[in-house]
Structure formats: C-alpha cells, structure tokens
C-alpha cells in the first residue's frame, strides 16, 4: 500500500519533507499540499509533486478523502489547530516541532489523542533518530556510568530580525529539551537562564547568547549554551559526564585537510545538512506506523513535556538567574 500524504505548510521544511517523500523514501506519496501562501504550495507542487492537489485551506486538506495521513509543517503557532483536526478525522499526523506554542495547547492535543484511544501523532524531534545521538545514548547506558552532568551548545550562524529572545527556547532549545529527556531517560525539575554580555551581531530585540541550566529528577545538571549569531557555522555540541567516563556527540563526517601549514576540519552552516539523515529516518518511521493507522516515535506526551519545560525556560529568561520549578502531571497510560 502507498500511504497518501497531505502536507500543510510548504516553507523550508515542508518543501524538504515533500522532497524526501517524493524522491528518497519508499511507501508514500504526497497527494495534497496547502499553505497560507498558495503560491508557496503551487511552487512545491510544480517542483516536486505535480500530481498533488493544492488546497487553499489546511482543514480541507485534512478532510480530503484521498489523504490518509498529514504532515504539519506550517509556522509553530498554527500547529495545534491542525493536529486537533487530524485527530478528529482519525488520521495519523506528523507535526514539526513545537507540537504547540503553549503547554495548554499541547495538553489539548494529548487529551484529544487519549480520548481517541490510540496514538496518531508523531512530533518532529528528529535528533532521537540521529546516528550520533543513538550512539551517545548507547554509550551512556553501557559505558559512562550514571550521568552526572551534560555540557551542550546549540549554535546557529545567524537568525532573522523576527527571531526574538523567547524563540531561543521555543524554536531552538526545544531540540535539546526533548533529546536530553530521551538520552537520560529522565524528566526536568527546574530551569535557570543566565545572560552574558550581548554579542555585537545580535539584533536589537534579541538577547544572545544565553545559557540555560536544567536540573533533572535524578539530579543531573545540564548546561546548554544557545548562541544563534555565532557567525562561524551551525554547530551542535554535547558531552555527557558520567561516574566512570565522558562521552561526546560525534562531529558530522567531513574531510580533514592538512593544508598550508594548518590542520582543517570544515563545519556545516545549515541545519538541513546537519540532520539530513535523521529527517529521513524519522519520516520513514512515520510512514511505517501511519500505514498501520497509528503513530510511533516522539509522542504528543513528549511534545507536551517539551512545552511545559519551554514555558518554564521562558519564565526563567524573564526572571534572569532565578530557579523556576518544572512539574509534569501524571502520564496517561497511552504513552507508557
């Protein structure tokens, strides 16, 4: 069976996911496209999915009888309504991060999915599928001994003027928030944010860089530097310090050069290249589960836990240096 997918939001990642469904992965095809800007949907149709129907409204795409499963790749604030509509239609739905821009919104999705009775939602936390993080998790489980600290960095070369201080949490840190819960098999209990002096390249409405300190229920302390105007490249770093040893996330494969009396290692500049393989694996997982009418991988519960933690981190930005408590409610059995 070929899974017939409708894609809502055909900007950068909606286009890229359409490309991988049409040209890289087996078992699915894009039969419908929709974007707030219809020209964007038509451009993706022309370039990648000529047989797809373009719908003006995402809601109509979700209801369309030819659509078996939905990809929500629109702007974060629009995710909740589309995911709720997909659950109401009983259709599996892959939702790019964040699941919702508030914890209350994510909770509404969890409640709707629990009422439906089976999983329908996968959240686009692709790092769980990255070969480097998978190897790091294996090292933490078998070789480092119990984790004590994590030192991490999420650096982007630059961000647009519309990227404001809270987006460093909702848009950027949210990947670390999810992947460290998964990596450590732990939940957060508090967050604190510290700001050094502002980098010269950061625009007027953005405090950048910043350091977020998260504490987990098992007592692990995690420091993450977020620096979205680092200029030199797209750089994701992670080091886990355990009782017996230290494990580091591998660098992306690259040709090392000895040239002109220097030893050189190239650094990527675009997030699309850094996690290209993991996007393929996460969507393949979605296609396999959606073909069976369900969802696997990062769940609505994970999206909700990330949203609660994000809200606490944004509160911690506002109350610079103060520790903000994080409490997760009881997890419904659907997510055990």
* Chain residues that interact with ligand NAD, rule: CB under 6 A: 8-14, 34-37, 40, 58, 73-76, 78, 96-97, 124, 126, 171, 271
Q: How far is the CB of 98 from ligand NAD (least distance, A)?
A: 6
Take residue 189 and report the two structure tokens written for it. Answer: 């209990």
When CB distances are held under 5 to 8 angstroms depending on the partner's kind, the choice from ligand NAD, ligand ISE, none that residue 298 binds is: none
Q: How far is the CB of 130 from ligand ISE (least distance, A)?
A: 11
What whole-number distance in Å separates Cα of residue 209 and Cα of residue 136?
A: 26
Q: How far is the CB of 156 from ligand ISE (least distance, A)?
A: 5
Which residue's CB is nearer to ligand ISE, number 172 or number 284? 172
**Pairing, β 210-216 against β 221-227:** antiparallel
Which residue's CB is nearer to ligand ISE, number 52 or number 152? 152
The residue of the chain with the least Cβ separation from ligand NAD equals 11
- Helix, strand, coil share (%) of the chain residues, nearest 5: 40, 20, 40
When CB distances are held under 5 to 8 angstroms depending on the partner's kind, the choice from ligand ISE, ligand NAD, none that residue 172 binds is: ligand ISE
What whole-number distance in Å separates Cα of residue 87 and Cα of residue 139?
A: 37
**Pairing, β 235-242 against β 147-155:** antiparallel
Q: How far is the CB of 136 from ligand ISE (least distance, A)?
A: 17
In the three-class reduction of DSSP (H, G, I as helix; E, B as strand; rest coil), residue 245 is classed as coil
For residue 229, state whether it binds ligand ISE (rule: CB under 6 A): no
Which residue's CB is nearer to ligand ISE, number 172 or number 216? 172
Q: How far is the CB of 39 from ligand NAD (least distance, A)?
A: 9
Q: How far is the CB of 218 from ligand NAD (least distance, A)?
A: 27
Residues between 163 and 192 that touch ligand ISE (CB under 6 A):
171-172, 175
- Residue 132's alpha-carbon distances to 6, 85, 239, in angstroms, are 30, 35, 12
- Cα of 294 vs its chain's centroid, Å: 20
Which residue's CB is nearer to ligand ISE, number 121 or number 226? 226
Which residue's CB is nearer to ligand NAD, number 105 or number 147? 105
What whole-number distance in Å separates Cα of residue 23 and Cα of residue 195?
A: 43
Q: Estimate the crossing angle of helix 300-318 against helix 174-184, to 10 degrees.
A: 120
Contact (CB, 8 A) for 191 and 309:
yes
For residue 156, state whether it binds ligand ISE (rule: CB under 6 A): yes
Closest CA to 36 of 17, 19, 61: 61
Residue of 55, 271, 279, 286 interacting with ligand ISE (CB under 6 A): 271
12-51 mask for ligand ISE (x: CB under 6 A)?
Answer: ----------------------------------------
Write the CB contacts of 26 (distance below 8 Å, at least 6 apart in sequence). Answer: none
When CB distances are held under 5 to 8 angstroms depending on the partner's kind, the choice from ligand NAD, ligand ISE, none that residue 156 binds is: ligand ISE
What whole-number distance in Å separates Cα of residue 281 and Cα of residue 129?
A: 6
Which chain residues interact with ligand ISE by CB under 6 A? 156, 171-172, 175, 271
């Amino acid at each position: 069976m070929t899974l017939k997918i409708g894609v809502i939001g055909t900007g950068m990642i909606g286009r890229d996911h359409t490309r991988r469904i049409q040209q890289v992965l087996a078992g699915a095809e894009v039969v419908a496209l929709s974007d707030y800007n219809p020209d964007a949907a038509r451009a993706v149709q022309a370039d990648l999915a000529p047989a797809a129907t373009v719908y003006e409204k995402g809601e109509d795409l979700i209801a369309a009888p030819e659509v078996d499963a939905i990809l929500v790749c629109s702007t974060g604030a629009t995710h909740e309504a589309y995911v709720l509509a997909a659950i109401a239609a009983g259709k599996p739905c892959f939702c790019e991060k964040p699941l919702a821009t508030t914890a209350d919104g994510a909770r509404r999705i969890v409640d709707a999915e629990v009422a439906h009775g089976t999983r329908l939602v996968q959240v686009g936390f692709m790092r769980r599928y990255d070969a480097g993080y998978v190897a790091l998790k294996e090292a933490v489980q078998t070789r480092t001994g119990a984790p004590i600290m994590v030192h991490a960095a999420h650096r982007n070369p630059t961000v647009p003027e519309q990227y404001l201080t809270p987006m460093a949490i909702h848009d950027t840190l949210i990947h670390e928030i999810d992947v460290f819960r998964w990596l450590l098999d732990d939940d957060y209990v508090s967050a604190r944010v510290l700001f050094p002096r502002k980098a010269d390249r950061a625009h007027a409405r953005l405090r950048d860089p910043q350091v977020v300190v998260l504490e987990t229920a098992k007592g692990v302390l995690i420091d993450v530097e977020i620096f979205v105007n680092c200029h030199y490249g797209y750089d994701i770093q992670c080091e886990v310090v355990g009782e017996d040893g230290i494990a580091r996330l591998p660098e992306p494969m690259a040709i090392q050069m000895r040239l002109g009396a220097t030893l050189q290692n190239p650094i990527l500049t675009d997030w699309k290249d850094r996690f290209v393989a993991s996007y393929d694996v996460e969507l393949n997982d979605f296609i396999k589960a959606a073909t069976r009418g369900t969802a696997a991988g990062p769940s609505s519960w994970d999206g909700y836990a990330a949203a609660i933690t994000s809200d606490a981190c944004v509160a911690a930005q506002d109350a610079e240096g103060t520790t903000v408590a994080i409490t997760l409610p009881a997890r419904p059995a659907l997510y055990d």
